[in-house]
Structure formats: C-alpha cells, structure tokens
A = this chain, B = another copy of it.
Amino acid sequence: MNDIASSLGQLGLSEEQADILNSAAQVCRDRSPIDRVRALIDDEAGFDPDVWAEIGQLGWLGIAIPEDFGGAGLGIGEAVPVAEHMGRHLMAVPFIPCTVAAQILLKAGTDAQKEALLPKVAAGDLSLTTALGEDGDDMTALGENERGGFMISGKATLVEHGAQVDRILIAFDTRDGRRLALIERENLPGGALRRERIIDDTRRAYELTLSGFEVGGDELLDVDRTKEALAHGEMVGAVLYAADMVGGAFRVIDYTADYLRTRKQFGKLIGSFQALKHPLVDAFILHERARSHLYAAAHSFGDQGRGEVAVRMAKAQAEKAYSYAADRGIQFHGGFGFTYDCDAGLHRRRAIWNATRYGDARSHKAKLAEMLF
C-alpha cells in the first residue's frame, strides 16, 4: 500500500522554473502568433530560422546541459515550461528532438564528443535530432569499416525535422546489439531524407534511408551506456511532449471559451448552453489535472522509479486532456469547426501526433499497471 503512495511524483517549483515559465510565456506568445503558425504550415522547413536562432541565444537548448559543457546546469524539469508554452502557441521548432538527442549524448557520448558538441548545442550553434527507429524500421550495420565504425543500411522513420538539423542521432543494430551514432546531415547522400505526410501540419518528419552508409568510429557513442541512455531519452521525450500537450490543451480550451463567449445562436450566446459549457469545464478540469501531473513529473524527473511513474502519468493524462479538449473544441465551433480555418483542428491533429511520440496513453498506462499493482 504505502509503497504505491511513496512511488508517486511530488510537486515542487524551482526559482529557475518560475523564471523560465515567465520568459517562455512571453517569447512564445510574441514569436508564434497564429498567423505565423498558419504561414509556416506551407513552409517546407515548418519553422522560422531566426526564431530558432533566438531560442538558441536564450539558452533554452542548454537548460539541461551541465555548466562544464556550456549549459545552464539545470534539469529537464526546467525545460518543461518551454515545451509547455511552445504547445500553447502551436510552435514547432526542433526543441524537443534537439533536447532528447543532447540528453542521450550527455549520457552515452564519449568525452571528446561531449566536449566538442554539447557547448555548441547549448549555445544554439548546433542542432540535433533523433532517428532511433520505430516498430518495423530496420537500420542495421552490414559490417565494420576501416574507420573503426560501421557500414549501415536500412530505414528509420519519423525523424523529426530531420532535414533541418545539423546532426542526426541514429540507432542501428549490430551483431553485438544496438549502437548509437551521431552523424552529420551534410554527409547524407541526396534523397536519403524523404518528407513524410504526418497528421500534424505544424511539424515535419522525414524517413531516413541509408544504404551502405559509412559511420566513422568517432561518430559512435559509448556502447556500454546505450541502453541506459535510450531509456533516459524516452523519458525526456515523454515529459516534453506531455508539456506540449498540456500547453495545447490550455490554448484550445481558451480559444473555444472565447468562441462560446461571443457566438450567438437562437438569439443566445452559445456559452450559456450547459451542453457546451459543462463539457468545456470538464476539459478544463482535465487540463488542470494534467498540469499538476506535469509539474510533478518535472519536479520528480530525476528521482529513481518515482520519476518514471510521474512521467508516464503526465504523458497519459496530458493526452487525455488535449485529445478531449481539441475534439470538443472542433465540435463546439459547429460548422466553422469543420473548416481548416478553425484552430481547434490544428490542435486536434497536433494532439494525435504528440500522443504517438514516446508512448501513447494506452502504453504508459499498461506500464503503470505493471509498475504499481
């Protein structure tokens, strides 16, 4: 009994979190107004390089990188407010994949790699993403090469913003198990990256196909820490996507409430109808629950066991809140909700994407059932 209670995430808020919460709120609001978001939907890259550069200068990419490597030396918990406010404004820069990749590099990179690359990442001079592979992908080493690395072939799907970053952290199978390597996008042969059609129009993902691609030994990460680093990366991705969803849920509820406050039907403001008011309240309550779980996950992230429980709860609850809020958001906008011009639709699509990344609610809950009962 008590072991369950003691395994749950606890809430806390660092000064740094509060400060970052403030600046993230302001920057994301200013840099990602909805007309920009919609303009970027038709942009190949999907984000504004100047905004991305500014984010680098703000140090957001180095929040959880130790000071020795030029970062702020804070935790993932301090990166959560950034992801939350990007979600509130449907912002889609490669913040999450870059942070996940940097964290894996931090755990499993060689000293040389960490010293050479992490300071650049922290400074915003080097952007990263992950190509860790999905079910059905088959990135494999055909054999070792004279550069102390491997020749690899195969496919990795859903590489977030793969065509817009400097380096890609790839995972592939070798005779002796899974390996990680950080390769330079420039070195990829033409056509190695194909843009995929994804549900979320605000983001970009690519299919990476390699055949006989040479990975240098100096690009390989420490084989002994691969497993632990990947597990850590999963948690980082999960909590940051949870944050994006909590932020998105907040916005779509706000956006819908605004419509309910102003739109009239049958001569009455539609927000006065309980059939719309009460479900929106329910959505809001789900958001509040999710936000409590999110900041518990942020605070408990580093704790053994408890951190994992808190992150899984946060991701599951955030999906529930964002999906419901956006779904009702579409419905409550009536005919307009069924048009592409209604932002609720953008949110619903983004909610689906976010849910699929780093485990959806169903798989996190299945894991929780194992862990807790």
Q: Which chain A residues have a beta carbon within 8 Å of chain B's beta carbons? A: 273-275, 278
**Chain B residues, Cβ within 8 Å of A273:** 274
Q: How far is the CB of A196 from chain B (nearest CB, A)?
A: 31
Say how many copies of this protein the assembly contains. 2
Q: How far is the CB of A273 from chain B (nearest CB, A)?
A: 6
Q: How far is the CB of A251 from chain B (nearest CB, A)?
A: 26
**Chain B residues, Cβ within 8 Å of A278:** 274-275
A278 vs B273: C-alpha distance in the bound complex, in angstroms? 11
A273 vs B273: C-alpha distance in the bound complex, in angstroms? 8
A273 vs B275: C-alpha distance in the bound complex, in angstroms? 9
**Chain B residues, Cβ within 8 Å of A275:** 274, 278
User: 5 A-B contacts, Cβ less than 8 Å apart?
Assistant: A273-B274, A274-B274, A274-B275, A274-B278, A275-B278
Q: How far is the CB of A284 from chain B (nearest CB, A)?
A: 16
A275 vs B282: C-alpha distance in the bound complex, in angstroms? 12
Give the nearest-CB partner of A278 in chain B: B275
A342 vs B278: C-alpha distance in the bound complex, in angstroms? 26
Q: How far is the CB of A267 from chain B (nearest CB, A)?
A: 15
Give the nearest-CB partner of A273 in chain B: B274
A262 vs B278: C-alpha distance in the bound complex, in angstroms? 23
A275 vs B275: C-alpha distance in the bound complex, in angstroms? 7
A278 vs B279: C-alpha distance in the bound complex, in angstroms? 12
**Chain B residues, Cβ within 8 Å of A274:** 273-275, 278
Q: How far is the CB of A265 from chain B (nearest CB, A)?
A: 13
A81 vs B42: C-alpha distance in the bound complex, in angstroms? 62
Give the nearest-CB partner of A279 in chain B: B278
Q: How far is the CB of A218 from chain B (nearest CB, A)?
A: 52
Q: How far is the CB of A153 from chain B (nearest CB, A)?
A: 38
The 5 A-B residue pairs whose C-beta atoms are closest, nearest first, are: A274-B274, A274-B275, A275-B278, A273-B274, A274-B278
A275 vs B280: C-alpha distance in the bound complex, in angstroms? 13
A278 vs B75: C-alpha distance in the bound complex, in angstroms? 47
Q: How far is the CB of A260 from chain B (nearest CB, A)?
A: 13
A293 vs B295: C-alpha distance in the bound complex, in angstroms? 46
Q: How far is the CB of A332 from chain B (nearest CB, A)?
A: 13
A275 vs B273: C-alpha distance in the bound complex, in angstroms? 9
A278 vs B278: C-alpha distance in the bound complex, in angstroms? 11
A273 vs B274: C-alpha distance in the bound complex, in angstroms? 7
